[in-house]
Amino acid sequence: MPENITLEKNRITESQYTEEIDEEYAGAESGGDEISDMESTMTDEATVAEAETLEEAEVADHEEDASSSGETVAEEKMLEMPEYGMEGAPTISMDGMEIEPIEGFDETILDMNRDEVATGVDENRLLDAWYAEFADPVTSALIQQQPGLAQTVAEVVIGRDDRVRITNTRAYPWRCICSLLITARDNSRWIGTGWLCGPGTVITAGHVVYMHRHGGWARRIEVIPGRNAASRPFGSVTVTHLRSVKGWTRKRKRSHDYGAIILPSSNKYGNRLGYFGFANLSFFSLMGLKVNLSGYPGDKPAGTQWWHARRIKFVTPRTLVYNIDTAGGQSGSPVWRLRKGKRHAVGIHTNGSTAGNSATRITRPVYKNIKKWKKIGA
């Protein structure tokens, strides 16, 4: 175990953060066995009042979804700025660029469709947390024996594999992307990706922090920012302070598949490494937008970071769909816009298929929760 690992005290907490019931905050410190039941500690009168409030909130839920999916949102008003941290800003100007300047990447594929491009613990056998949540046990066991089958089940490479390996993970923004080694409540092991959104907050997929089929809250998650195979240029920290929303932890809604990891006060990586901004953009701003995605896929050498970019091809009230190549291990990766040298995440990669990989869209309520989780880790 790395020397700089910090384990936090076991306890479970919960609080209400937003008006929308399915976006309500659900949290665990230690990845507790269950969400504490607020209603069980209330008087009958309070329970009735709570139920009435929740009923009203469910009505607001539909209204919020309608407005957050659409064109009435003034995009630049819900935009949290990125920071470069003590390690400093990129050395090259990014003005006018929409995708990262990665050597060897063929930008002509950005406008191509899928048909046009088609032509100890062994960490290499650890599966993406997606399998823990959505794949049946037989499939998971088979893929662990034959890792090459992973691409046929979860996140996929669509057509020709155009992903590019990031070798200088000490540079911004690559150092803000974290390899995650997950130990579930039942002690099974999984992998994922997360990204710094603040001094002490890592955003990821909901199924990374809370696995319904494996005991609920993860027992612990090792966070390794800027990992480069065996190299851990900034060390690592093991965390038990986790967050998600009730729409995921209680209802298992794919549309609410997002969460956060709160780093201990002794390891606020964002102060040194910087962090991504994030934004709630309108339908018209997102449709056809060139976006970047980078993470730690399980079909490549363990702990190596890989990037790809494409245009968003579909936008729904809750998801973004794109032909960016991904593979198991990249659940939780940032999907970001690069504009005027600033990087703003607009989605959280969760899963995919040959029809298109997809992300949880940063809608108005998702934006608000990320902002609050950022404040918790500040």
Catalytic sites, residue numbers: 207, 331
Per DSSP, helices labelled H in 151-233 are 206-209
The residue whose two tokens read 């009168």 is: 45
DSSP state of 171: S
Query: 54-66 burial string, b = 16+ CB within 10 Å, else e?
Result: eeebeeebeebbe
Q: CB-based contacts of 374: which residues, under 8 Å, 6+ apart?
A: 80, 197, 198, 201
Q: DSSP strand E in the chain: where? A: 25-29, 79-80, 127-128, 164-166, 177-183, 189-198, 201-204, 210-211, 216-217, 220-225, 237-239, 241-245, 259-262, 277-279, 290-295, 305-315, 319-322, 334-339, 342-351, 357-361
The amino acid that residue 38 corresponds to is M
Residue 132: Cβ within 10 Å count:
25
The encoded tokens of residue 296 equal 């730690």
Q: Do residues 175 and 169 touch, judged by C-beta distance below 8 A?
A: yes
Measured distance CA(68)–CA(198) in Å, rounded: 23
Q: Do residues 13 and 32 touch, judged by C-beta distance below 8 A?
A: no
Measured distance CA(45)–CA(40) in Å, rounded: 12
